[in-house]
Structure 1
Amino acid sequence: MSSAAKVTTSSPEEKLVVLEASQASGSQSQSQYGLKFAAAAVSNMTASGVSNPVDVIKVRQQLRTQTPGARGNAFWTVGHQMVRSEGLKSLASGLPASMMREVVYSGLRLGTYEYFKDSIYIASSGSLPKEGLTLKVLAATIAATIGSFVANPADLAKVRMQAYYPKGMPYSNVFSCYVAVYREGATKHPSSPVWGGIRTLYRGVEATTIRGIILSTSQICSYDQVKQTLKARGIMQEGFGLHLTSSLFAGLFCSIMSNPVDVVKVRVMNDKERYKGVFDCVKAIMIHEGPLAFFKGFGMCWARAILTLPVSQLGIHTIVSFIAFERIRSLLGISPM
């Protein structure tokens, strides 16, 4: 489109060549958006497979309702208790639901980010520069809103299957979890069982969407911005080192920004009776547990963990997903993000 705008021709034949080239370029871009969606889904499924044990422990931490200052909720303490009482297989809890969630959620929020970035840039006639943070935030917000809303049922199933049940896991598989949650809502709303079931599957969608927007703007935009800055200043060149460095910063930013909303989301999704909604959950946490409860499950300090692997689930997930995303793009012949 831009090349067509820059070329001035008088011959009808030359104009036809320019138009055909422009259309071919547009068709190629559309196919690349589809490949980017697939690459985002596969890379995030890979990241979820790697980080699932940490994710399970994080969920267990966030579901514990302890008083401020109480002990016994440290990352390693919770993990040790899980393995001792439930076995190593407990660290794989909710993995199928997590994989299903990543296809929809991350496929959309990361896979369509550049599509919305390009679309908004064209719609603004270039008034929003591609290097600017405003365009990136807008694109990430739209992509995350769509992805978070569509993937909420899978997200809810993942949380339910990762929670601790003293009498044993009530769900035989992810599909039985969907059915159980749907019936739960249908029973509570006998006058409109279908609507009640759907409402229950979308329980916590407000927190999920808000978290998705915060996570995506802080994660995707920071990765994009840090990578762009390091390349522009000649500090690093395209490659594994740049991808790792950018993802480390992105993981740190999104972990700090999204953890409070993540705690609320997990509590509301796993709850059946206690909370009336998102704001009621926030109020209850503040009153009974204090503000630090919003950072349960954050993990070890990043300054100490960079030498090995960050214990923050989002940190591990972010590093693996972006490195895999860039690698898959390269294999598919797509330019780097």
Structure 2
Amino acid sequence: MSTTVTLEGKVAIGDNAGSAKSSSPSSSQKNAQYGLKFVGAALSNMVASGVSNPLDIIKVRQQLRTQTPGARANAFWSVGLEMARKEGVRSLMGGFTASMLREVVYSGLRLGSYEYFKDKLYIMSKGALSREGLGLKVTAASIAATIGSALANPADLVKVRMQAYYPQGRPYRNTPHAFAAIWREGASSGSTIRGGLSALYRGVDATTVRGIILSSSQICSYDQVKQVLKRRGIMEEGLGLHLTASLFAGLFCSITSNPVDVVKVRLMTDKERKLNGVVDCIRKIMVNEGPLAFFKGFGMCWGRLGTHTIVSFIAFERIRMLFGIDPM
């Protein structure tokens, strides 16, 4: 009879020694789990985005308006009622297909690869970065968000364009037509490929910055709140903990990301190129509308991001459970 001491310090006797060695997941099993986390993150955020799409489009409309901040005409109920009356109730689901495509790339990567980068950075630091520390979490979330935001920018741009208001009528029939029209819009001012790609990547700098700020504040605060509540014995793993942590995360990321979101939306809908990049956009908003303009649409931003955060994290935790993966 053989005796084996495992990494956890437990002793396995006889035939059980082999099973003890295999208790820790192999490299292929870990990679499979990372893949399932990507799928789970994409699916959960698609569900959340579908639920919050009407709030998202109202938020975009508010951010594009230039009235005095707080003016009644820019209140979310005024914008929503005006859309339903003039464009029909279906207008509240504008950009839905592009939004789903964006979530697969953007959220699949920013949330789905968060733990991958967290694990890799921890190993690379050789313990210098604590698993419980915010430094590791923020760095991992920032890397994941940078990749996801940059790759998803074309879908994000199409979504915003399809959600904007056009007095002369909608210029885009559907999502494929919007992609093609924006490509042609860029190609007309430069070489076919370079000009088309530059048009689809309009506002990518603001999109990436927003993605980093949002993901760092949203994912890290969710992770941190869960960790603190569990460590102090206030709550146990389950729906109540997931709801509580996501409520905090939704509010925090709404506050931090709204100003960048306003700049991003303005740049993405600037078809006539009146804005010369992020700095010029910020300057013109400050001069023409004042600093409170950066928080235009905050009510809808919080309503949308808060709803999206709650639904996405609860769904993500449920999907992980179905896939046999430990809670986040």
TM-score range relative to shorter protein: over 0.9
State the Cα distance separating 1:175 from its structure 2 match: 0.8
Equivalent residue number for residue 12 of structure 2: none
SS at match of 2:54: helix
Equivalent residue number for residue 323 of structure 1: 314
Looking at structure 2, the residues matched to 280 and 82 of structure 1 have their Cα atoms a distance apart, in angstroms, of 30
Check conservation: 2:69, 2:296, Cα contact below 8 A. no
Looking at structure 2, the residues matched to 178 and 141 of structure 1 have their Cα atoms a distance apart, in angstroms, of 28
Matches within 5 A, 1:196-207: 196-207=195-206
1:275 pairs with 2:261: no
Q: Residues 98-129 of structure 1: CA distance to partner in whole angstroms, max 9, x if unpaired?
A: 00000000000000000000000001111111
Structure 2 spans left out of the alignment, 5+ residues: 10-14
SS at match of 1:299: helix
Q: What residue identity is the alignment partner of 1:335?
A: D
SS at match of 1:119: helix
Check conservation: 1:181, 1:201, Cα contact below 8 A. yes
Looking at structure 1, the residues matched to 22 and 77 of structure 2 have their Cα atoms a distance apart, in angstroms, of 58
Q: What residue identity is the alignment partner of 1:294?
A: F
State the Cα distance separating 1:4 from its structure 2 match: 7.5
Q: What residue identity is the alignment partner of 1:319?
A: I
Check conservation: 1:297, 1:312, Cα contact below 8 A. no
Equivalent residue number for residue 323 of structure 2: 332
Check conservation: 2:6, 2:21, Cα contact below 8 A. no
Equivalent residue number for residue 187 of structure 1: 188
Q: What residue identity is the alignment partner of 2:227?
A: Q
Equivalent residue number for residue 131 of structure 1: 132
Check conservation: 1:236, 1:242, Cα contact below 8 A. yes
Q: What residue identity is the alignment partner of 1:296?
A: K
1:86 pairs with 2:87: yes
Looking at structure 1, the residues matched to 101 and 277 of structure 2 have their Cα atoms a distance apart, in angstroms, of 25
Q: Residues 209-260 of structure 1: CA distance to partner in whole angstroms, max 9, x if unpaired?
A: 0000000000000000000000000000011100000000000000000000
- Closer/same/farther in 2, CA of residues 55 and 169 from structure 1, 3 Å limit: same
Matches within 5 A, 1:40-189: 40-68=41-69, 70-189=71-190
State the Cα distance separating 1:193 from its structure 2 match: 2.2
Q: Residues 174-215 of structure 1: CA distance to partner in whole angstroms, max 9, x if unpaired?
A: 1110110010000011xx221011011000000000000000
Equivalent residue number for residue 304 of structure 2: 313
What fraction of aligned residue pairs are identical, expressed as a percent?
A: 69
Equivalent residue number for residue 284 of structure 1: 284
Looking at structure 1, the residues matched to 241 and 76 of structure 2 have their Cα atoms a distance apart, in angstroms, of 30
Matches within 5 A, 1:211-230: 211-230=210-229
Root-mean-square deviation (Å): 2.3
Looking at structure 1, the residues matched to 6 and 166 of structure 2 have their Cα atoms a distance apart, in angstroms, of 62
SS at match of 1:203: coil
Check conservation: 2:95, 2:163, Cα contact below 8 A. yes
Looking at structure 2, the residues matched to 311 and 294 of structure 1 have their Cα atoms a distance apart, in angstroms, of 14
SS at match of 2:130: coil
Aligned length: 320
